[in-house]
Structure 1
Amino acid sequence: MSRTDVRTAVWSPPYFRMPPFSGFVRPRLIAVSAALAVVAFLTLSWNVTIGDYPIGLGEVMAALGGSGDPGTLVVVRELRLPRAAVGLLVGVAFGISGAVFQTMTRNPLAGPDMIGLTQGAGTAVTAAIVLGFDATLGLQAFGLLGCLATALLVYALAWRRGTTGYRIILVGIGVSWVCTSATDYLVAVGARFQAQAALGWLVGNLNGRDWDAAVPLAYAMAVLVPAVLGLGRLMRTLQLGDEVAVGLGTRVQLVRFALLIAGVGLVAFGTAAAGPVAFVALAAPQIAQRLARTAWPPPIASGLTGAVIVLVGDLIARTLIAEMELPVGVVTGVLGAPVLLWLLIRTNRAGSGG
């Protein structure tokens, strides 16, 4: 048992009852979530200040509040805010989806990057570009369809009188490598400009994002995030193991399928909006769990942590090299790789396989 689990077992947080709602009040989790929300808002505002037309942070704050000169309002609201909003929403979507997968599978290494979902979206988008179908439906639609199709394939292959988190991870790793190989082949046989377009999307990119990318993601999250929160109590029982969860009255397979649909939906719409931004879904829940000192990755704090990671990554990508904007996925990949290595070392020392 980890030190976090021991602290949780010894100290019980205060309990509130307000019919029809009841539950534990976790002051540290609330404080961490509030602090992350403030950091995310400040980072979003700072991102909006960057551009060819200089705008101060105070002017950005005023424009977000609806005041300021008309030129500044247009630049902030129509040209720069959409990109920052997409980064915020994508980070929240990936962070919450990572928390869902890691809790559902009881494995800190589980995430859309590891079980093939983002790779499936990448294969679909690359195929659309190489075959010339992207002008018909758009890259976002193909990314969405590829992610959903990969999720159904993983679930079907992992089914054996039900599914387990262990089988989902193993099958997902195999499917991810198949999708990666297919993507590499498509890039190799495509024309040079097609390969460049595919690679620009595959690394995860916020360049050129507008409200057309932000609005569908916002609508999807308005449905999927409440669904995840509504399943929160049942999701946590899965951490106790299937037998214990069944003993507590949890319909394990139904709950796991519902969580899979919600998590995949968040990943699919997030990937469709900005591409497969690497390691956010893997790292954000683990960082949030340690900040909040909970026994499981908290969904809201994980989403806010993901938003901070994406926005800070985009800020670095836009300012690291003068007169050049790197894709945000390059920065999150560099920052996320050490987290993956740390999780692998920690899991190996625990001897539990996750």
Structure 2
Amino acid sequence: MKAVVRTRGDRIALRLQPRMLTVCAALALTAAGVGAVTMTTGDYPVPLLDVLRAIAGQGPPGTDFIVMTLRMPRLLTGILVGFALGVSGAVMQRLSGNPLGSPDVIGFTNGSAAGAVVVILLFDGGMYQVAAGAVGGGLGTLALVYGIAFRRTLSGMRLILIGIGLAAMFLALTNYLIARASLDDAIAAQVWLIGSLNGRRWDHVRPLALAMAVLLPFVLHYGRKLAMLEMGDDTARALGVPVARTRGVLILAAVALSAVATAAAGPIAFVALAAPQLARRLTRSAGPGLMAAGLMGALLLAACDLATQRLFSTTPLPVGLATSAVGGVYLAWLLTHEWRRIRA
């Protein structure tokens, strides 16, 4: 069921989907609840009122340090990374027409990881240099995949198959560099490759938030044309959509979102794959909505990080282990479901 809200004179008309809005609101509230639990529990429990006072700058020094220095940057990094991965996965899956068309499956995440590992092992780069290497690796992978897969038009299946092949090549390059590195450098690179929110500070939050503030408006603006692109290029052109420009901007923005997320937290597996599909099932829409997918990604990553912190408090585990465990089960279910659907 859809509703249309119009201004006087019909100058502006907005099509609203009540179920989509309800699901987005529920996901946002649930993510806020997970954030509240994250901020108030742990080795040093902090009452919610004291958390709010610390955020307002009126908390005592000890509470202010726990809330604003240790917990808040980690939580915000997780939410922003999860949102970016969810939106990126939704765009790529809708453009490819395949639920497996997410950045971590078709090579963009592996390309970002390879770029970061090159900077870590060969140039001994710092945080910003590693982030630049991850973004450069992701965009370089996009150029390779797009250059090989594009033949007058962009086939979703060809994009996925070429991306999977390049992902394997980048994984081999990463493993080769780690095998040739010194023990300390190899350990540092391998820890980064797991994907983690441990030790995240405001220096991670600020550039990530800035990058998303630049990229998300492009995605949301051009994302309104995704439904028409899914009808086919000829139909989309007949409806007035500049197909090549729209697809190019969406792919570039989606890969950039995935790359900056990888730069901030390492390659977090399966969030970009699972979040859009879970959001689509909740909204019961033909394709995953971008906002719903982003909120689902933020919720998944924040919840997985909370689980790793509380269940393994003595040894803080990287959140990438939790998302890999959950995502592996989801991928097996998705492949089984698609196989049964095709056979039926």
* Same structural fold, with TM-score higher than 0.5 when normalized by the shorter chain: yes
- Shift, 1:250, TM fit: 2.1
SS in 2 for 1:107: coil
Q: What code does the residue aligned with 2:62 have? A: G
> Structure 2 matches for 1:167-316, cutoff 5 A?
167-316=158-307
Deviates more, 1:30-39 or 1:123-132: 123-132
| CA root-mean-square deviation | 1.8
Task: In structure 2, give the amino acid aligned to 1:318.
Answer: Q
User: What secondary structure, in the 3-state scheme, does the structure 2 residue paired with 1:68 have?
Assistant: coil
Q: 1:21 to 1:174 in 2, by over 3 A?
A: farther
How do residues 77-116 of structure 1 correspond to structure 2 at under 5 angstroms? 77-116=68-107
Letter in 1 for 2:110: Q
Q: 1:133 aligns with which of 124, 131, 134?
A: 124
2:223 and 2:250 in contact (8 A); partners too: no
SS in 1 for 2:154: coil
Moved runs in structure 1, 4+ residues, more than 6 A? none
Letter in 2 for 1:340: L
C-alpha distance in 1 between matches for 2:178 and 2:139 = 22
1:162 and 2:143 correspond: no
Give the TM-score, by structure 1 length: 0.91
Gaps of 5+ in 1: 1-11
- Cα offset, 1:137, TM superposition: 5.0
Structure 1 CA distance for aligned equivalents of residues 178 and 223 of structure 2: 40
In structure 1, the residue matched to 2:4 is 15
Residues 1:120 and 2:122 aligned together: no
Structure 2 Cα separation of the partners of residues 20 and 181 of structure 1: 55
**Counterpart of 1:138 in 2: which secondary structure?**
helix
Q: Aligned partners of 1:136, 1:296: CA distance in 2, in Å?
A: 36
* Identical residues among aligned pairs (%): 43
Amino acid across the alignment from 2:72? L
For 1:25-65, what per-residue CA distance to the aligned partner results, in whole angstroms no more than 9, with x for missing partners? 11111111111111111212222234543323342234334
Letter aligned with residue 112 of structure 2: A
Aligned residues: 341
Pair 1:49 & 2:43 matched: no
Whichever residue aligns with residue 94 of structure 1, its letter is L
Partners of 2:316 and 2:338 in 1: CA distance: 36
Partner of 2:6: helix, strand, or coil? strand
Q: Distance in 1 between matches of 2:283 and 2:82?
A: 18
Report the Cα offset of residue 81 of structure 1.
0.5
Closer, same or farther in 2 for the Cα pair 1:51/1:138, shift >3 Å?
Answer: farther
Q: 1:252 to 1:350 in 2, by over 3 A?
A: farther
Give the letter for the 1:68 counterpart.
G
